[in-house]
Amino acid sequence: MAHPLQDRIAELRTRVRRLTALFGASCLIGAALTAALVLCALDYAVRLEDPGLRVLSSLTLLAVIAGTAYRCLYQPSRVCLSDVELARYVQRRFPELGDSLATSVEFLGQREDDPAAGSLALRRAVIHRTTAESETLDFLDVLPQWPARRAALGAAMAAGVAALAFLVAPTGSRTALARLVAPWSHTVWPQVTHLAVR
C-alpha cells in the first residue's frame, strides 16, 4: 500500500499528464483549423488551378499538423517526471517545506532494510513530520492552468470561425475543403460569371 505522500504525488503526475494532453490536443486542433481556414481562404481568393500549387497547399496543412503534433503532443509525452522531481517542483511553490518533501519521497522509495539508506527511525521521523506539515497544502495548486486553458480557448475560437464559415457559405466551404483534402481531384469552384454571345 502506497504512503499518502506517494498517493498525492501520483495524483499530481496524473494532473500534469491531463493538462499536457489538453494543451497538446488544443494546440493541434487550433493549428490545424487555422491553417485549413487560411489555405481555403487563399484558394477562394486566388482560385488555384495549378495542381502543383494545390498539392503544395495540402502539404503545408500536413506539415502544420505533423509539426504541431510532434512538438505539442509527442515531445511532452516523452518527458518522464520522477516522484522526486515532482516533489522538488512542489517545494518551489511551497518554500516552507524546504527540502523535506523531496527527501521524504526519496526515503519512501528506499527499502527499509537498505543498509546504505541510514537510520530507519530517522527516515520515518522525517517522513512523518513532512506528512504532517504538508497536510494542509494542495499539491495541485502548483500547476499553472492558464496555458492549457488558453490553448483550449484558441482551439474553440478556430472551431467557431470554421463553423461560421460553413454556416455563411456552405457550398464554398465544402468546395474549398474538398480541394484542400484532395488536391488531385477535379473539384472546381462554382462559376460566378456567365458570358453570353448575343
pLDDT of residue 185: 82
Give the pLDDT band of residue 155 (cuts 50, 70, 90): very high
Residue 120 confidence (pLDDT): 81
With the CA atoms of 100, 101, 103 and 104 taken in that order, what torsion angle do they form, in degrees rounded to the nearest 10? 110
Set of cell numbers at residue 175: 468546395
* Average pLDDT of span 115-126: 80
* Nearest C-alpha neighbor of 149 from the set 30, 12, 10, 11: 30
| Cell numbers found for residue 193 | 460569371
Single pTM value for the model = 0.83
- pLDDT for 177 beyond 80: yes
**What number is the average pLDDT over the span 118-141?**
88
Percent of the chain clearing pLDDT 90 (strictly above): 53
pLDDT band at 46 (very low <50, low <70, confident <90, very high): confident
Average confidence score pLDDT of the chain? 89
Question: Residues for the chain: how many in total?
Answer: 198
Average of pLDDT values for 79-88? 90
Q: Which residue has the cell 487550433?
A: 30
Which three cell numbers, joined as nine digits, stand for 97?
517545506
Separation between Cα atoms, residue 134 and residue 55, nearest integer Å: 58
